[in-house]
Chains A and B, each alone.
Chain A
Amino acid sequence: MAGTLRPRDAKELRQAIEWASSEGATLDVRGEGSKLALGKPMVCDQVLDLSGLAGIVDYAPEELVVTLRAGTPLREVEALLAQRNQMLAFEPPDLGPLLGGEPGRGTLVGALMGNLAGPRRLAAGAARDHLLGFSGVNGRGEAFKSGGKVMKNVTGYDLSKLLAGSWGTLAVLDEVSVKVLPAPDQTRTLLLRGLTDEAAVQAMCAAMGSPHEVSGAAHADGKTALRLEGVAPSVEARLKGLRDILAVAGAAMQELGTLESRALWRELRDVQPLAGDRDSIVWRISCPPTEGPAVVARLRARRPSAKAFYDWSGGLVWLALPSSSNGDHMIVRSALGATGGHAALIRAPEAVRAAVPVFQPQPAALATLSARVKESFDPRRLFNPGRMG
């Protein structure tokens, strides 16, 4: 069984990796381990547990920046920001229950490493858009940094973008600086009922293209939800504007207040509409918003019992398929077809994840380039080996 290394400071982190580098020991890098069931299964020589590198280093609300250690739980960061009416605008999801674990676990850096964002992604950007800078250790056991703590910075390559979404395979982070934003006073939702998938996506795209600053557009269980956030008078005016432009859809409309809205968008964020059937296989598809319904239709032609819901105005399709030994990966990826986009296997038994590509396979030139980028950080392939396969 693999041993566990639990460094307590930056120096110990560097020493641990320097040692791993000299031994060629592979490392399973984790914070709270809340997303271990996501990605390709790994066999590693050691667990590198970052929970000893935790805590807020610096938080100045008027700078819109929080700096923290890699092992800091997301819930602690969110609680701290809430005290000052601020938030992580990319709305990191809590995938714990979907993945069969506890709710409320996971670190902010874990969300960054997966580039995981919730419904507000389409208005406020992805996790990667909020990582301003970091310090960490590469696979050579060298401590390095990139970016900074300021909003605007083009000094050197933007390695933060590479690290976000790298699932811990490029470097082990020690400290990150993350952009935060004011939390909205009010959250309201306009619900439209009874629209087909196509009509719903059309309505969502019309809403997103309106001046009414929609910060969430999802379609699940026959309900199309559009979220408006901000100060009360503005939200009221925009709700009215939105009702006017969507009246042509002919759907019954309903408004939700702040508390109900927050609950609804939390459920959508955490993929709750598909969490119920624990045996189903869950995919996450990113595609051009208007293509979402066509992708789902192609899929249903092959797997009529597929359940789906849409976020990001139709550009994010969450899909549940009946249990199978290969996750129907060929069917899912061929349904995506030439549309452009990618499909990732989010929930599946370990054997399935071991058997099929979890993340969308890349064209050869891109795959080669990505492998070279990996090598430039971690030439001995120590960090989370094979996890992104």
Chain B
Amino acid sequence: MEMPPLDPAILARRSEIVAALRAIVPGEGVIDDLDGMRPYECDALSAYRQMPLVVVLPETVPQVSAILRYCQDNKVKVVPRGAGTSLSGGSMPVGDAILLGLGKFNRVLEIDYANRCARVQPGVTNLGITKAVEHEGFYYAPDPSSQIACSIGGNVAENSGGVHCLKYGLTTNNLLGIEMVLMTGEVVRLGGKHLDSEGYDLMGLMTGSEGLLGVVTEVTVRLLRKPSTARAVLLGFPTEAGAADCVAAVIASGIIPGGMEMMDKDAVKCAEAYVGAGYPLDVEGLLIVELDGPPIEVDYLVERVAEIARERGATTVRVSRDEQERVLFWAGRKAAFPAVGQITPDYMCLDGSVPRGRLVEVLAKMREMSKKHGLRVVNVFHAGDGNLHPLILFDANDPSELKRAEEFGADILRLCVQVGGVLTGEHGVGIEKRDLMGEQFTEIDLDQQMRVKCAFDPDHLLNPGKVFPKLRRCAELGRLVVHQNKIPFPDIPRF
């Protein structure tokens, strides 16, 4: 993974920069020794590591503002970081950039049940929000697997999803407001406790912008009332096609389950050996379908889903009998990644999304690729919304295997794009998929995105080296090429 070359002038000014940061953030908020910076050298994409120039951990919005203004004035790069759980290298440090950690912004500021929202600082964990409101029967819906650790600010940056997205949406669909600091140090508020934007929806743009446009310092999220009941159904199929068919049929029948997950045979075996969730081992494809809502509705829908599954040849149909069993059904799925980790030294987790109707074909092609690259692949995915998580098994100690795994991964993502899907459904582009952006986007597409970046950060100082495969200077992007003397569209009807 190639990162932009380090700027020797910045490296030479390190002590001056550290001193300037200390003047803004006193005490232990500036970390410049190697041991102290070590915990920040990577995020959850731990194959890639890099020490930052210096780590700064501000505690107030004026401090964040002063840091960014200093960086803008002195052309110093900044990498924002929440909890560091990005799976795509979104918060991986850059050698000549300040790492700006928001971990100290960890307070819940306000809970407003009547307006069903909570105002929190960006370092509060995803699960922390639910924990703060669950005693009143409320929760925050998006639930990425890392929810115990990941921060809500990071969720905004990555537009994080989870297993309940199909029914409850991603982060972007559950935000009401943010406060953010621009590279100029200006603090702006977008949204609030009301709905929709008075002008351009900059909050929507910020969500999923991977820390390239601004630094979020406050988040207002929508709270939902917990559904009164949830039950899970395990559905086992003798073929993957049967399972995929069932997914389509459930949705076509008008049912939107709270969650609908699929695992292939190998994933089922790993998870069962690891957790003992009671999964059937004689199936090629296993679905976990969760239905939530009023008890009478859940009972009704469980019956309908079971019926649809049987019609499509399900050999296992098991409905959770109580909350304990529902949690057990999920335990296997939620532990699928570590379970696969038991049978391989390393694995690479991918994140493409495809139209549901192409699932079976994509799975079959992935198997062919597996043979070609000589590496195994195990599949776990959010079947309801077509978001795949293929796990490629390899041994990082064998450099040829790492290289093959990367190639295999790239082949899978290209395949996703070819069938009408996208490179990443919820993990983000970061550095991991940066160089594949050209598979999905034309240069014009990417130039337009970069021009939006320029509107916020004309010097490309925020989170450099991420998302865009090739950076173009904003001055160059902004140049207007006027097509003079062109024959004006001779064929278009005019009135």
Contact = CB atoms under 8 A, between A and B. Distances in A.
Interface of A: 3-8, 12, 15-16, 18-19, 21-23, 52, 60-65, 85, 115, 117, 121-122, 125-126, 128-129, 138, 140-146, 148-162, 164-166, 170, 181-183, 185, 202, 205, 208-213, 230-231, 233-234, 236-238, 241, 286-290, 312, 315-316, 340-342, 344, 359-360, 362-363, 365-367, 369-370, 372-377, 379-380, 388
Contacts of B354: 150
Contacts of B420: 148-150
Given A152-B425, A231-B297, 8 more contacts: A62-B251, A156-B429, A209-B138, A209-B225, A237-B297, A342-B196, A370-B200, A376-B452
A362 B201 CA distance: 12
B201 A128 contact: yes
A365 B188 contact: yes
B297 A151 contact: no
A199 B444 CA distance: 54
A315 B440 contact: no
Interface of B: 112-116, 137-138, 158-159, 161, 165-166, 169-170, 172-173, 182, 186-188, 190, 192-205, 207-209, 225-228, 248-249, 251-252, 254-256, 293-297, 300-301, 353-357, 382, 384-387, 420-429, 433, 437, 440-442, 444-449, 451-456, 467, 478, 480-484, 486, 488-489, 491-495
A158 B205 contact: yes
A12 B448 contact: no
Given A154-B425, A369-B456, A315 B194 contact: yes
Contact of B492 (A6, A121, A241): A6
A122 B173 CA distance: 11
Given A157-B449, A290-B114, A152 B202 contact: no
8 contacts: A4-B494, A152-B387, A155-B437, A158-B172, A158-B205, A315-B115, A366-B202, A373-B202
A154 B428 contact: yes
Contacts of B202: 162, 366, 369-370, 373
A62 B251 CA distance: 6
B161 A316 contact: no
B462 to A, nearest CB: 13
In order of increasing CB-CB distance, the 3 nearest A-B pairs are A161-B204, A234-B297, A342-B198
Given A151-B353, A156-B441, A288-B115, A230 B297 contact: yes
Given A164-B201, A237-B297, A365-B182, A205 B115 contact: yes
A85 B254 CA distance: 8
Contacts of B422: 148, 150, 153, 155
Interface of A, secondary structure class, is: mixed
A115 B201 contact: yes
A151 B449 contact: no
A154 B449 contact: no
B204 A162 contact: yes
Between B204, B423, B444, B478, the greatest number of chain A beta carbons within 10 A of the residue's beta carbon is seen for B204
Contact of B159 (A18, A125, A154): A154
A152 B168 CA distance: 12
B203 to A, nearest CB: 8
B39 to A, nearest CB: 26
A162 B410 CA distance: 30
B116 A340 contact: no
Given A62-B251, A157-B205, A380-B480, A209 B429 contact: no
B32 to A, nearest CB: 32
A15 B489 contact: yes
Given A62-B252, A152-B385, A359-B199, A158 B207 contact: yes
Contacts of B493: 6, 8, 52
A123 to B, nearest CB: 10
Contacts of A65: 355
Contacts of A209: 113-114, 116, 138, 225
B251 A288 contact: no
Contacts of B173: 125, 129
B194 A287 contact: yes
Contact of A166 (B195, B200, B448): B200
A62 B165 contact: no
A3 B385 CA distance: 45
Contact of A377 (B203, B249, B451): B451
Contacts of A52: 493
A3 B187 CA distance: 44
Contacts of B205: 157-159, 161-162, 373
Contact of A161 (B199, B201, B355): B201
